[in-house]
Amino acid sequence: MTTTCAVAITEPGGPEVLRVLEHAVRDPGEGEVRLAVRAASVNPSDVGMRRRGVEGVPPPWIPGWDAAGTVESVGAGVAGLAAGDEVMTAVLPRRADGGAQVGLLVAPAASVVPVPRGVTLEQSATLPMNGLTALRALELLDLDAGMTLLVTGGAGLLASYAIPIAKERGIRVLADATPADEELVRGFGADVVLPRGERLVAAARETANGGVDGALDTAVLGRDVLAAVRPGGGLAFVRSWTGADVEDGVTIHRVWVAEVLERTEGAVEQLLFRARTTLKARFGS
């Protein structure tokens, strides 16, 4: 065991419950890697964890899904990774070891991959969780080339990975944006940019001749976006869905990124090109 610093949630509440505390970190076990974290992202689910805590687990809780840094040590049976390698990873913050907002992080080697060439560690720390979520959502929707996908929250980070992945698969992408974000969303690859707000569903139905084949609801509009999807289509939802598996003829796909965190190595090649597309649109890099 060694100690490091960690961002800790001491009790459910607002930002005032966050503290930087000393945290004991174990050595990596078989099939695991320990990395020195240089950057860790903050996602909406981290805010939810801060507000509600973790049921059945005593505080403090360490938030954070994804991080980037350098490999500090590797456990038995790990191949292809060595001390000093610059890597990124995604972990489940509700696990016993806690999340990624920590100085030293133990993670499964299957969830640790090299950072993309030409991408900073800070930028890489935004990729794993959102990139894997986008891949999982599109896998569940299972749209063929030529079909139409609506992505809500088009200027957001999750949308910025989903749009170029879908485009490379030959899918026609509609996405919403404010006038100020329209150029950004087009830069991600959206074929048509629709207005945000109450006109979105009507605009999507009109553009897609009565309804899109699938929707990825990154803006968490929920049932408000169902009418944009044709009967027989699908809606990928990234929060807890409390209704039926099929509503108004639309199949509801619940997207749980925790199911695919250890598929990072297999997915990383798919994500690298899209990461560059997203970063170029956002930062011009």
pLDDT tens column, 59-77: 999 999 999 999 999 999 9
Helix (H) or strand (E) holding 137: helix 128-141
Q: What is the mean pLDDT of residues 181-195?
A: 96
Q: What percent of the chain has pLDDT over 70?
A: 92
Give the model's confidence band at 23: pLDDT under 50 very low, under 70 low, under 90 confident, else very high. Answer: very high
Q: Within 13 A of 215's CA, how many CA atoms are on the CB side? A: 32
Strand partners, 152: 217
By CB neighbour count within 10 A (0-12 exposed, 13-18 middle, 19+ buried), where does 281 fall? buried
Distances (CA, A) of 7 to 94, 100, 107, 186: 14, 9, 17, 36
3-state secondary structure of 186: helix
Question: Do 253 and 217 contact (CB within 8 A), yes or no?
Answer: no
pLDDT at 116: 78
Give the model's confidence band at 258: pLDDT under 50 very low, under 70 low, under 90 confident, else very high. Answer: confident
pLDDT at 243: 85
Q: Of the CATH numbers 3.20.20.10, 3.60.20.10, 3.30.200.20, 3.90.180.10, which one belongs to the domain with range 2-126?
A: 3.90.180.10
**Fold entry, domain 130-258:** Rossmann fold (3.40.50)
**101 pLDDT more than 80:** yes
Give the span between the Cα atoms of 43 and 136, in whole angstroms. Answer: 17
Among 12-21, 87-96, 155-164, 273-282, the range of highest mean pLDDT: 12-21
Average pLDDT, the chain: 92
pLDDT at 270: 63
User: Model pTM?
Assistant: 0.88
Q: What is the mean pLDDT of residues 159-163?
A: 93
Would you kindly state where each structural domain of the chain is located, as residue ranges?
2-126, 130-258
pLDDT at 115: 87
pLDDT at 117: 79
pLDDT at 230: 97
| Range scoring the smallest mean pLDDT among 33-37, 41-45, 52-56, 261-265 | 261-265
Question: Do 179 and 114 contact (CB within 8 A), yes or no?
Answer: no
